[in-house]
A = this chain, B = another copy of it.
Amino acid sequence: MPRTGGEQRRTTIVAEAIHQFGRDGYKGASIESIATAVGVRKQTLLYYFPNKEALLEACLQAAGERLASELAVALEGAETYWERAEAVIHGVFGLAAEWPEFPMFVREAARLGPAAFDRFADVIDPLRLRAIEFLQAGMDSGEIRKQDPAMLLFTLYTAVVGSLTEASVLNAVVGSDTGQASLRRREREVLLFVRAALRPAKD
């Protein structure tokens, strides 16, 4: 019985849980298989998290914090309007590249209902507010097409997360297209798409 100590064990369990919740869904992943994957018995996992739901909440919290710190770094030094928008998209795709199950986990969290998703959303709420302010300022200065900034943010979210999570659809629509190269292609596509969508009307 290897003793790695409390906090480290916690974090590896959470990482593996996000992995499996993202891949198999909350229902589809069993605490037993999560425990086995980190080399420990189910009852050891239940020592750290009293039940499956508590484990999920820890995952939501951790995922939110990870995304928040990732985006904070990505936004450093991004000055102009388009640099900032691009930095956010690039940051999310970068996170997805090194942690493929992360977007799937976020989508699963949304699927589980508002109560679960809010646990995640609350952590990144400051970023949400900054994003809406940013979009509003861009509209006021005429750099972005005028519209409801919150709805725009929602639509941007769906486009980015969708292109990261709908691998089966990508396969069906454009044919076999996998791996890092595919991810880069999709990032470029989303960037072009978003840039075109944000652009003010010709008038």
The CA-CA distance from A145 to B197 in the complex, in Å, is 11
Shortest Cβ distance from A140 into chain B, in angstroms? 18
- Asked if A110 and B154 make an inter-chain contact with CB atoms under 8 angstroms apart, the answer reads no
What per-residue 1/0 map shows which CB atoms of A104-129 lie under 8 Å from chain B? Answer: 10010111111011100100000010
From B116, B147, B202, A202 is in contact (CB under 8 Å) with B202
Residue A168 lies at the interface, judged by CB distance under 8 Å to chain B = yes
From B27, B117, B162, A162 is in contact (CB under 8 Å) with B162
Q: Report the copy number of this chain in the oligomer.
A: 2
Q: Looking at the complex, which of A8-16, A42-50, A72-80, A185-193 is the stretch in contact with chain B?
A: A185-193
Residue A61 lies at the interface, judged by CB distance under 8 Å to chain B = no
Chain A interface residue count: which class? Answer: 35 or more
The CA-CA distance from A165 to B157 in the complex, in Å, is 12
Q: Answer whether A148 and B189 are a contact pair too, CB < 8 Å, given A27-B28, A154-B174, A168-B114.
A: yes
The 4 closest A-B pairs by CB, nearest first: A158-B162, A121-B172, A117-B168, A150-B174
